[in-house]
Structure 1
Amino acid sequence: MAFKNGLQSSDDILSEINMTPLVDVMLVLLIIFMLTVPVLTHSIRVDLPRASATQAAENAHAITLSVDRSGTVFWGQAALDRAALAQRLAALARANPQAEVRIRGDRRVEYQHVLAVMALAQKSGLSQLSFITEPVGNAQP
């Protein structure tokens, strides 16, 4: 826009562009994009089980609990009942609260047996639980 200063006697026209409205518009657009982009990128996905798992790093101090098809729980190779398992998990939690417990559940075992092992571990104070599974290509029918 051309403005004439009334104090100057010359008839020169100011030929500079006023940048303030342009900067204001750009800042408003920037704020709008900053608010809308995170909303678009954080959508809920339901198809997560399709991803294949990678093998976890070996931890020599991790405890492996196996639950067979009948619901029997094994600590290493020794079969335990619920009371003995609760005592061992409580002792493990007292010795090392950050110990990792890995659960190997037979795929045909009822869910309640695996859930009972998880609940015992949680009640004892252990919070690092993981599951051991077969890779998709090695699964047996």
Structure 2
Amino acid sequence: MAMGLHSSDGGRGRRGGRSRAPMAEINVTPLVDVMLVLLIIFMVTAPLLKAAVPIELPESRAKAMSEEADQLTISVRRDGTIFFETSPLAPGELPERLASVRRGPDGKLPLVTLRADKALDYGRVMDVMGELNRAGFTSISLVTDVSGGSGS
């Protein structure tokens, strides 16, 4: 009984006939997948980067407000240190920093978000709000942590 070895390339074998041309296409699907994952990571972490000054905020059941494009963040830590965005201010420096804030194209000052530690004295928070008001900032939002529990 004879076995015939027959190949589909006409008996030429792999070495004798046409060789396969190298693939000249780049598969971009893995690249797109990686880019989408990175985009999602940056979208999730971007809001966390906004609050760069670690503060223990008081809790509230108020609904969250939307963020505006041009807003100014003032933070007051437990020890009374005031931060203009992320840079700490020397005592008495807040009024001059507020005076240097530029008005928007419509002539309005930006919205101020005030983040104050919950252990701070109420009078200290009112001092900062008084300086904001004296500088012409009339739109001030107080930032709190959202409480998930029910009130008692």
The corresponding residue for 1:77 is 86
Alpha-carbon distance between aligned partners in 1 of 2:83 and 2:109, rounded to the nearest angstrom: 21
Name the amino acid aligned to 1:95. R
Q: Which moved more, 1:118-127 or 1:79-88?
A: 79-88
Q: For 1:64, which of 73, 83, 86 is the aligned residue?
A: 73
1:114 correspondence with 2:137: no
Name the amino acid aligned to 1:128. S
Q: For 2:144, which of 129, 133, 139 is the aligned residue?
A: 133
The corresponding residue for 1:52 is 61
Deviation by residue 1:35-69 (Cα, 9 ceiling, x = unmatched)? xxxxxxxxxxxxxxxx8211111112111111110
Higher RCO (CA < 8 A, seq sep 6+):
2
The corresponding residue for 2:134 is 123
Q: Is the CA contact (8 Å cut-off) linking 1:64 and 1:103 kept in structure 2?
A: yes
Deviation by residue 1:6-62 (Cα, 9 ceiling, x = unmatched)? xxxxxxxxxxxxxxxxxxxxxxxxxxxxxxxxxxxxxxxxxxxxx821111111211
Q: Is the CA contact (8 Å cut-off) linking 2:61 and 2:148 kept in structure 1?
A: no
Alpha-carbon distance between aligned partners in 1 of 2:103 and 2:66, rounded to the nearest angstrom: 22
Name the amino acid aligned to 1:119. G
Please report the TM-score for the alignment, with normalisation by the length of structure 1.
0.56
The corresponding residue for 2:96 is 87
Q: How far did residue 137 of structure 1 move?
A: 2.5
Q: How far did residue 79 of structure 1 move?
A: 0.6
Structure 1 gaps of 5+ residues are: 1-50
The count of corresponding residues between Structure 1 and Structure 2 is 87
Alpha-carbon distance between aligned partners in 2 of 1:111 and 1:70, rounded to the nearest angstrom: 13
Identity of aligned residues (%): 31
Structure 2 gaps of 5+ residues are: 1-59
Alpha-carbon distance between aligned partners in 2 of 1:120 and 1:82, rounded to the nearest angstrom: 13
Higher helix share: 1
Q: How far did residue 95 of structure 1 move?
A: 2.6
Runs (4 or more) in structure 1 with deviation over 6 Å come to none
Q: Is the CA contact (8 Å cut-off) linking 1:65 and 1:75 kept in structure 2?
A: yes
Q: How far did residue 77 of structure 1 move?
A: 1.5
Deviation by residue 1:81-100 (Cα, 9 ceiling, x = unmatched)? 343211111222x6344311
Please report the TM-score for the alignment, with normalisation by the length of structure 2.
0.52
